[in-house]
């Protein structure tokens, strides 16, 4: 069976997004600074059909993020908030008509909805039975491949606290946000045993990987 893993960018004070997240400002106040290393990369811009951008030691982090991934799990806000829009099926998330996943994506939400098939092989499945049920469905869809937890903070925190994660990817940005969403803020996390697996220094960010030891 594949691994359950995630890659998050966090500030030095542990925030992956700033305060005041909204549809207009999905990263919250200051959150752009945490994700700048990725947004500036040619590899990232290409995923959204944009030209230009940088090539550096972070490039393989972006290029390889979906390697070996068979399904994706995300929270409602990662799909694109606005539950009020869901009733009539008008809101199709903020990933565009051809989302960069090309896989089954399981969205944890309180709002039931039929699966939404997009261009390029991405289908969003909406799961209302909680994170563990959504992860079970993602695992089944992934088969021998990995499940990637793409966020937000709450989904990652819940999966970690339930002992369901095998590998942690942390991209540490040289910034303090002061407030916002912390994925690693739960006393239950103290039960995990980790080992440091890999460190990559890149311009304006350090990429860390840890394995959960069972």
State how far the Cα of 26 lies from the Cα of 109, in Å rounded to an integer: 17
> With respect to a second copy, which residue has the nearer C-beta, 70 or 151?
151
Binding mask 190-209 for a second copy (x = CB under 8 A): x-x-xxx--x-x-xxxx-x-
Q: Which of the ranges 11-19, 109-117, 125-133, 134-142 carries the binding residues for a second copy, by CB under 8 A?
A: 11-19
State how far the Cα of 93 lies from the Cα of 133, in Å rounded to an integer: 22
Give least dist CB 161 to a second copy, A: 10
Region class of 59: left (phi > 0), else alpha (psi between -120 and 50), else beta: alpha
56 binds a second copy (CB under 8 A): no
Q: Which of the ranges 6-14, 62-70, 80-88, 124-132 carries the binding residues for a second copy, by CB under 8 A?
A: 6-14
162 binds a second copy (CB under 8 A): no
Region class of 168: left (phi > 0), else alpha (psi between -120 and 50), else beta: beta
Region class of 110: left (phi > 0), else alpha (psi between -120 and 50), else beta: alpha
54 binds a second copy (CB under 8 A): no
Binding mask 16-45 for a second copy (x = CB under 8 A): --------------x---------------
Contacts of 84 (CB under 8 A, 6+ apart): none
Q: Quote the longest CA-to-CA distance of the chain.
A: 47
State how far the Cα of 78 lies from the Cα of 65, in Å rounded to an integer: 17
> With respect to a second copy, which residue has the nearer C-beta, 111 or 198?
198
> With respect to a second copy, which residue has the nearer C-beta, 136 or 189?
189
Is residue 187 classed as helix, strand or coil in its secondary structure?
Answer: helix
Q: Which of the ranges 39-47, 91-99, 135-143, 165-173 carries the binding residues for a second copy, by CB under 8 A?
A: 165-173
**One residue of 13, 64, 85, 97 binding a second copy per CB under 8 A:** 13
Is residue 97 classed as helix, strand or coil in its secondary structure?
Answer: coil
Give least dist CB 199 to a second copy, A: 4
């Amino acid at each position: 069976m594949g691994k359950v893993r995630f890659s998050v960018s966090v500030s030095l004070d542990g925030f992956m997004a700033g305060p005041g997240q909204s549809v207009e400002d999905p990263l919250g106040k200051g959150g752009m600074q945490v994700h700048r290393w990725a947004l500036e990369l040619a590899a990232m811009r290409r995923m959204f059909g944009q030209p230009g951008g940088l090539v550096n030691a972070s490039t393989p982090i972006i290029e390889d993020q979906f390697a070996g991934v068979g399904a994706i799990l995300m929270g409602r806000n990662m799909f694109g908030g606005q539950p009020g829009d869901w009733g009539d099926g008008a809101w199709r998330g903020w990933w565009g008509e051809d989302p960069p996943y090309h896989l089954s994506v399981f969205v944890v939400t309180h709002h039931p909805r039929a699966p939404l098939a997009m261009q390029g092989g991405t289908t969003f499945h909406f799961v209302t039975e909680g994170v563990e049920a959504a992860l079970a469905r993602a695992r089944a869809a992934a088969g021998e491949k990995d499940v990637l937890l793409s966020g937000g903070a709450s989904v990652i925190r819940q999966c970690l606290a339930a002992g369901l994660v095998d590998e942690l990817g942390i991209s540490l940005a040289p910034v303090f946000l002061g407030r916002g969403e912390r994925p690693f803020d739960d006393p239950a996390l103290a039960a995990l045993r980790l080992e440091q697996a890999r460190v990559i220094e890149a311009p304006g960010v350090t990429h860390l990987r840890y394995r959960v030891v069972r």
